[in-house]
Amino acid sequence: MSTSNLKISNSEKLSLFSTLSTMISAGIPILEVIDSLLEDSKGNSKKIIQSVRDDLVQGESLSTAFSKFPATFNKVTINVIKAAEEAGTLEVVLNDLKDQLQKDMEFIDNVKSAVTYPIVIFFLFLAVMVLILVEVMPKIATVFISLNVKLPLPTQILIFMSNILIRDTIPFLLGLFLVFLIVYLIIKFKSHWITNILFSLPVVSTLIREIDLTRFSRNMYLLLSSGITITSALTLVEDVVMRKDMRKIILEAQEIVQSGKKLSEAFKGKKSAFPGLAIKIIEAGERTGTLDKSMQEIGEFMDYQVSSTLKTLISLLEPLMLVVVGVLVGGMMMSIIGPIYGLISTVGNVQ
């Protein structure tokens, strides 16, 4: 693995920022802080910190040392630290980075908890389906075939699937592997196909829009509060948003600001990405010269909005999954019970 591809977990990065901020604030030289971190680190974290230490010994700045690991430290982080080093506010910025990372981790945890339930339900359904196809269907199919019963199409499909699982296990597994391989290749090389579908879903599209605005405002706050110009900040935050239209709006805003107009003017008419309230807060910040604080306020407000939308999504997803699984399992059971009921009725009529 090349040095540029080295990556550490968010929890390790949070510990790094927290320790650096706390110990530098206490007046401890940064090289001593790095040595302290190196003693307890391991794996990729140890490799990164060792590389950072080597660069610091050679007289390089912390931002330069971090820039060698783009998979771990993005452009916003590097530029914020660089500006803080020049302004002498490194411990403050590191603390801000820690706070932002903590919020990002809390959000990721919320998303994981939201998707865990449907994933568990989905795999439970698969387990029930495989159990029915492997244990139940072969026995019932033998009875139906011996009695020469005319089977409905759903039952025939279940028997066909059961035969594939039992008699053609290796070809089935190879086919399943091929499907997973195709899905993996699509995710790796054509992920925009999947994201375009996800981003077009009603509630999901709203959630993604709010997440993009949250990321935008948080990173703008970090950059502006570090003394970075608006145009440079807009260039850097382009990489932190997910939607193409949002990136396009940010690029257009950069051009408008460069022409001498205000940021709020650039966002007017872009209600799909920036709600009226956000624009008003930006306008207030521009009038008072506290645009960075305005961005912080928008970020905090959007945190609440994202949490609310996520709760709505969960509340919609849970009953929907139960209904879908109930219909599928019920359909499978009816495909089994239906022919049995028909057979009993035929026997009864014969008697």
60, exposed or middle or buried, with CB in 10 Å at 0-12, 13-18, 19+? middle
> Do 30 and 62 touch, CB atoms closer than 8 A?
yes
pTM: 0.73
Question: Exposed (0-12), middle (13-18) or buried (19+): which is 90, by Cβ within 10 Å?
Answer: buried
Token output for 278:
């956000």
Instruction: Name the residue with tokens 């699982």.
Output: 165
pLDDT of residue 178: 92
| Helices 169-189 and 153-167: angle between axes, nearest 10 degrees | 100
Residue showing tokens 């077009």: 200
Residues of the chain where predicted confidence (pLDDT) is lower than 70? 1-4, 149, 191-192, 194-195, 199, 342-351
Give yes or no on whether 3-73 and 93-351 have one common fold.
yes
For the chain, give every domain's residue range.
3-73, 93-351
CA 264, CA 256: separation in Å to the nearest integer?
10
CB neighbours of 347 closer than 8 A, spacing ≥ 6? none
CB neighbours of 141 closer than 8 A, spacing ≥ 6?
159, 162
Q: What is the CATH number of domain 3-73?
A: 1.20.81.30
Q: Which tokens belong to 108?
A: 């990721």
Predicted local confidence at residue 299, as pLDDT: 86
Cβ pair 64, 52 in contact under 8 A: no
pLDDT score for 342: 67
The pLDDT value given to residue 1: 46
Q: Find all residues with CB under 8 Å of 196, minimum gap 6, and list them.
A: none
Instruction: Using alpha carbons, select from 51, 52, 13, 9 the residue that is nearest to residue 30.
Output: 52
Residue 93 CA to its chain's centroid (Å)? 25
Q: pLDDT for 104-118, tens place per residue?
A: 888 778 777 777 877
What superfamily in CATH does domain 93-351 come from? Type II secretion system (T2SS), domain F (1.20.81.30)
